[in-house]
Amino acid sequence: MSRILQKYNNKISQKYKAGKHNGIDIIGDNGKSNNSGYLDYIVAHTEGEVVGVVSNYEKNNPGSRDYGNYVKIKHPNGYYTLYAHMKYGSVAVKKGDKVEKGQVIGYMGNTGNSYGAHLHFEVRDTSDTKIDPTNYIDADLPSVDAYTTFVRDLQTAIGANVDGIAGPETLSKTPTISTSTGWNHKAVRPLQVYLQSLGYDLGSCGVDGKFGKDMKACIKKYQKDVGLATKYQDGIVTAKMYTWKKLLKLD
């Protein structure tokens, strides 16, 4: 049975000058934390697509490349898992591969910024933000609805605190986007994805991150559908105002 060597810690200790540890370190049945040659294998937590791989990092050189050999997988709910410090020559997948839950993707090793063979395991949410993976060691990743995904992606785009929960801080950072103002703002794409999930027609351009005429028409229809006053059915998503409040469910 595997055991945790080092827990997740997302804060820096000023007292002990200790840095963050944005994952958990795990050692398996067959090895010891100071042994770089044992054969504990690593499996994919959940089905998904491999979106990142380093497989040729050979040196056991603490302080060099942080992760050493690693595999990063994107899962159907938009979350990511990352498996680091894998043994040189053991990585069994490549970028673009589809993997199944429980599929062997490599072996524990001691590459990168590592002080003994182990697995450094991370879980990241839909905005690629590192979260505490402890609860997911033996449990499924959370399901994420379209609204929560939209809020997280919007928060990332506007520089708000990324927690998937819309509140005053998120609203305060919303931009004005229209065909003439902020038409290519980073907030446009998550807004398009969300509107599409609600069944709105984005026109021939689809999700392109640009606020064109079709997007304006889409916003006008949304504004009418949610009951905004006629004067606010203008196809403009004004910073901090009624359309954003409706979209963020803050009205």
Task: Read off the pLDDT of residues 171-187 as tens digits, 9 standing for 90 and up.
Answer: 999 999 999 999 999 99
Domains and CATH numbers, the chain: 3-136 (2.70.70.10), 146-247 (1.10.101.10)
Q: How many other β-carbons are positioned within 10 Å of the β-carbon of residue 180?
A: 10
Task: Read off the pLDDT of residues 68-95 as tens digits, 9 standing for 90 and up.
Answer: 999 999 998 888 999 999 998 899 999 9
| Residues pairing with 3 in the sheet | 27
pTM: 0.61
